[in-house]
Structure 1
Amino acid sequence: MSGISKVEDAASQHHTDEADVEMKKNLAVQGKGGDLAARIIGDQQIEVTEEDNKRIRRKTDKRILSVLVWVYFLQILDKSVLGYGAVWGLREDCNLSGNEYSMVSSISAIAQLVWLPFSSWLIVKVPHRILMPCLVLGWGTAQTCMAACNDYGGLLATRFLLGLFEAACLPLFSVITSQWYRRAEQPMRVACWYGTNGLATMFAAGVSYGFGQVNGAIASWRILFLFAGLITVLTAPVVYWVMDNDVSSARFLSEKEKLQAIERLRANQTGTGSRDFKWGQALEAVIEPKTWLFVGMALCLNVTAMVTNTFGPIIVGGFGFEPAKTSLLNIPFGAVQLLIIFPSSYLAHRFRIKSVFLEAILMPVLAGAIMLYLLDRSRTPPLLAAYYMLAFLFGGNPLIVSWMISNIGGATKKSVIMSLYNIGASAGNIIGPLLFNSDDAPYYRPGLEKTMGITCALIAIVGLQVAWLFFLNKRQERRRVKNGKPAKLRDLSMEHRYVSNREEGETGAPLGENAFKDLTDSKNDEFVYVY
């Protein structure tokens, strides 16, 4: 055993030495190939008061967060109207049979899998002000064209294109949030744009009910698709007009405010973005265990999420309700999403921990699936309660996303991990609908069995990630001691009020100078992992 221990210690020491050498090499290259902010702020330490911090945050919310909220709302709306289209005759009008409807739902996720390797490169290389409106225009056009489909092939083609353009949405929004906000602010900002899941569900349910009352030459589901698609298309030029690329080029900030905005992000140790795609960072992202634990979370969570998006209205219809009432009964489902997303994200912000609240909201999801599995279909009130309990799941994604972006340094590494996370989400979106077969109606027991198992797996993966991050923090402490810095650092990025980074290590080594060098978390000895 002692021999094995010595080998492990030697391997760990070798990894640490390599990381330290790499860090010093990166620090020697001032601004060259580094963070965009480093080229502006250089070695300056800018004075930022709490009032400055609040003012800049408010401005950022008005300009950047408002765009994220509206565009993500449209993305969820365009994705979720398929389920309501099925309630109002899409399957019959397009002659779908067997698993064809499930495949139409899954094909957008398959498209995302095809395109996601390119998404990480696009997020780094293409300015966000250009990339986002192009994506919005693309998926809006695909959604609009779905209204003209008359068969299985047409639906497959348009849904494939919709998925292709939506592929970069979640990683792009996550990267933008991490580049504009302090780590303490990120959970609530992610909750704001991801929380539109609930709003979009409620809105789609209400609008589908309204269009369902129209008895004209055009089918209700076609009007619904046209409505959602055209709003999205018209949004694209607005996004281009309002959006900014990064903090260093923000048009809504003065030159002094740009420096202050950069300075207030120093404690994040995750930078504000870079246009250099670094293959070394990409490789590091792929080989890290924490990457694949986050991907596993995305896979498990989105299996169940896609079940509710695609089969939710159909499952409720199986309780014996007519199409109009089925649409209306999904409004509370969206309300539950909102009621869970914001409190859980606030608690994660308030207590500076995400994993505990993530585990807590998964318990009602598991209980709801068990109830749907066991209850007779004649017991409508408890069945609806069980179905609404599944909506707790939607509080999980914003917690996971904010947890993930808080634990990644390096622009390329962040974009690659977010794209891999979205690959996991896409795989879950593919698998979810395929777990349910129309022949199993109205109980869908085989699908519910698998859903329960996957939820249990998700609970276990969260626990494993906490253990791994704890190990990484211990390794960082050993590196800091070796480099003449305190073993324990106060994580200023998680403070609720702005606190300056002007501290010094035990031997006078300055802290906070690595923040804008585009170092990855493993190469930056001052990086503190959060749970």
Structure 2
Amino acid sequence: MGILKPFSSEQRVEDVEGRPRSGGPGQGADAAVAATLAEQRVEVTEEDDKRIRRKTDRVILTILVWIYFLQVLDKAVLGTASLFNLQEDTGLTGHQYSLVGSISPIAQLAWQPFSTVLIVKVPHRILMPTLVLGWGIAAACMAACHNFGALLAARFFLGLFEAGCLPLFSVITSQWYRRAEQPVRVAAWNGQNGSATMVASALSYGLGHIPSNLLKPWQIIFLFVGLLTIVSAFPVYWKLDNDIPSARFLTDHEKLQAAERLRANQTGIGTREFKWEQVWEVALDPKSYLWLSLAVLINIGASVTSIFGPLVLSSFGFDKFETSLLNIPFGAVEMIVIFGACYAAHKVRIKFAILVGFLLPVIAGSVMLYVLDRGPSERAALVAAYYLLAFLFAGNPLILAWIVGNTGGATKRSATLALFQAGSSAGNIIGPLLFKSQDAPFYLPGLRAVLAVFVAAIACVFIQLANLILLNRLQARRRVRNGKSAVIEDKSMNATYRAEGKETSPEGVVLGEHAFDDLTDRQNDEFVYIY
């Protein structure tokens, strides 16, 4: 059993054949770990697996949860700030508030090609705190805005720095956890959509009561969340590790074990080499465009609740403080839905069915909001219908877990997730524009449009299911041609880790030898697509 020697990000190592090899930050360590694991299987007991997973959760997952919470909070306060005369104080008219809500995802959409490269080339320990510091400054600058142009500029830079957040977090999750563990971990950080909504509403209620002759309530809100984000960038740099080989919270031998337990993922442990052929494969892969379609459709609805949700809620007859408080249970429902959906996907392992099941209540809520009268007698039913829209937030984490579990190759994974973020941004741009000021306070045309969007999303889920079934059949045929069994067990989806040595197919071919070779899902015939 090999023992991993300490690695620095700049060191040179020798590859399997003994030739000197160098690389960017962390690349040499990745090569050494991959070479060691290619030559032998490191023993990992179930207790080892649990210990390493707990250590990873304490460091990596804690950082992901806190930073994603801040990212959502910085965006969510725009909706709650609108209740405290933001539009009136800054002179917003017509579609200008909608454009302020849409400019952030426009910036994210424009930045995605750069995110694809940065996530692969720049060490995560450098990239994440840089992004956090940038969007924290932009959020704090919102407090200094007094007109439409200033708000537009601040929100643009907020979106620019947040552009890499979702794909970066998804890549990090895929590099540290087994495929069976990924849905719950994605839920842990993506579930902060709910907690951030709750905190944004509570903060707005509390900070909105602060008397001040110098600052407006909405300025206090923006300044508080911006400064909180800025100071959080420094602990991230201090605690975050780039990858398993550079993990300071693992011993040398635990690094080998941590990598070994990911062998069944067939997706590698990360690399700093950007491969254009993998980007080309993304462009030719039909499932890429289905992920894109789902991202657009799901986030059209999600943006509506974050930007116009408080305004729709206030149309039921509540004042600004009651609306802030009533939005807190909405955030709680978001959290419950996200964790419930991802836990169900972890246990049942059929992601498409869970996703469809959680979209159905969203359709029901949209129908209720569209057909119910806005009279006082219907107020309770309207609030319940509004809360049903929170089921939509199960969509993004389930789709993200679906993507990272079905994509091999570091560059392909980064490009696919950047494409998903581009779709999310496009949805966030389109969503607010469906709700026009002249349709206030009920916004019935917008509600009718998003209802059609949710139905289309369910149709896309079933098309993707059929595509993945077809891909698995094609993989089985490739395995047979390469002297392997048509059907192989996907151990990455087992609920508990099973330590095993080298396996061979009935035809005598050794399995799992290319798990750390940075092959794409199309290149690796042992890759099994998950539904």
Alignment of 1:99-498 (within 5 A): 99-217=95-213, 218-378=215-375, 379-498=378-497
Give TM-score scaled by structure 1 length: 0.93
Instruction: Measure, in 1, the Cα distance between the counterparts of 2:506 and 2:149.
Output: 67
Aligned to 1:510: 510
1:106-162 CA deviation, whole Å, 9 max, x = no partner?
000000111111001000000000000000000000000010000000000000000
Aligned equivalent of 1:530: 530
Give the aligned residue type for 1:248.
P
Counterpart Cα distance in 2 of 1:494 and 1:82: 40
What is the TM-score when the length of structure 2 is the normalising length? 0.93
Instruction: For 1:337 and 1:367, locate their aligned partners in 2 and report how far apart those are by CA, in whole Å.
Output: 16
Matched, 1:51 2:16: no
The amino acid of 1:121's aligned partner reads V
Cα distance between partner residues in 2 of 1:387 and 1:456: 18
Q: How does 1:2-21 map to 2 (within 5 A)?
A: none
Counterparts of 1:54 and 1:250, CA distance in 2: 17
Question: Is the contact between residue 299 and residue 426 of structure 1 (CA under 8 Å) also seen in structure 2?
Answer: yes
Mapped partners of 1:173, 1:374: distance in 2: 39
Letter in 2 for 1:242: K
2:395 and 2:209 mapped to 1: Cα distance? 35
The separation in 2 between residues aligned to 1:157 and 1:83, in whole angstroms, is 17
Asked if structure 2 preserves the Cα contact closer than 8 Å seen for 1:179 and 1:273, the reply is yes
Larger mean Cα displacement after TM superposition, 414-423 or 492-501:
492-501
Structure 1 residue 32: Cα displacement: 9.0
Structure-2 separation of matches of 1:352 and 1:458: 20
**1:490-509 Cα shifts (integer Å, max 9, x gaps):** 10000011123532112211
* 1:96 lines up with 2:92 in the alignment: yes
Per the TM alignment, residue 45 of structure 1 is displaced from its structure 2 partner at its CA by: 0.8
State the secondary structure of the residue aligned to 1:270. coil
SS of 1:198's equivalent in the other structure is: helix
CA–CA distance in structure 2, aligned partners of residues 106 and 338 of structure 1: 24
3-state SS, counterpart of residue 519 of structure 1: coil
Deviation at 1:211, TM superposition (A): 1.0
Letter in 1 for 2:286: P
| Residues 281-316 of structure 1: per-residue CA shift (max 9 Å, x gap) | 010011100011011110000000000000000111
* 1:76, distance to aligned residue in structure 2 (A): 0.2
CA distance in 2, matches of 1:222, 1:40: 55
Contact 2:46 2:499 in 1 (8 A): no
Write the deviation string for residues 81-119 of structure 1: whole angstroms up to 9, x where unpaired.
Answer: 000110011101100000000000000000011111100
Distance 2:434 2:449 in 1: 7
Residue pair 1:119, 1:419 contacting (<8 A) in 2 also? yes
Give the whole-Å Cα distance in 2 for the aligned partners of 1:272 and 1:99: 46
Aligned residues: 505
| 1-structure distance, mates of 2:78, 2:297 | 22
Paired residue secondary structure (2:415):
helix
Alpha-carbon offset, residue 343 of structure 1: 1.3
Letter in 1 for 2:398: L
- Equivalent AA in structure 2 for residue 442 of structure 1: P
Quick check: 1:70 aligned with 2:66?
yes
Q: Is the 8 A contact 1:484 1:506 kept in 2?
A: no
Paired with 1:98 and 1:231, the residues of 2 have a C-alpha distance of 32
* Secondary structure in structure 1 of the residue aligned to 2:39: coil
Aligned to 2:11: none
Aligned counterparts of 1:474 and 1:166: Cα–Cα separation in 2: 38
Aligned residue for 2:374, secondary structure, equals coil
Deviation at 1:41, TM superposition (A): 3.1
> Match for 1:221: what amino acid?
W
1:248-295 deviation digits (Å, cap 9, x = unpaired): 110110010000000000000011111000000010011100011011
Partners of 2:253 and 2:499 in 1: CA distance: 17
> Percent identity, aligned pairs only?
58
Instruction: State the alpha-carbon separation in 2 of the partners of residues 71 and 29 from structure 1.
Output: 41
C-alpha displacement of 1:28? 10
Contact 1:266–1:515 (CA under 8 A) maintained in structure 2? yes
CA distance in 2, matches of 1:380, 1:414: 45
Number of the residue aligned with 1:8: none
Instruction: Report deviation, 1:396.
Output: 1.1
Q: What are the superposed Cα offsets for residues 172-210 of structure 1, whole Å, 9 maximum, x if unpaired?
A: 000000000000000000000000100000011001000
Is the CA contact (8 Å cut-off) linking 1:337 and 1:392 kept in structure 2?
Answer: yes
Equivalent residue, structure 2, for 1:83: 79
Distance 1:28 1:450, change over 3 A: farther
Q: For residues 425 and 500 of structure 1, what CA distance do their matches in structure 2 show?
A: 39
Which residue is 1:24 aligned to?
none
Superposed CA RMSD in Å reads: 1.5
- The change in CA–CA distance for 1:141 and 1:470 in structure 2 (over 3 A counts) is same
Instruction: Say whether the 8 Å CA contact 1:191–1:398 is kept in structure 2.
Output: yes
2: distance between equivalents of 1:440 and 1:373? 13
SS at match of 1:156: helix
Distance 1:420 1:184 in 2: 23
The residue identity in structure 2 corresponding to 1:187 is: P
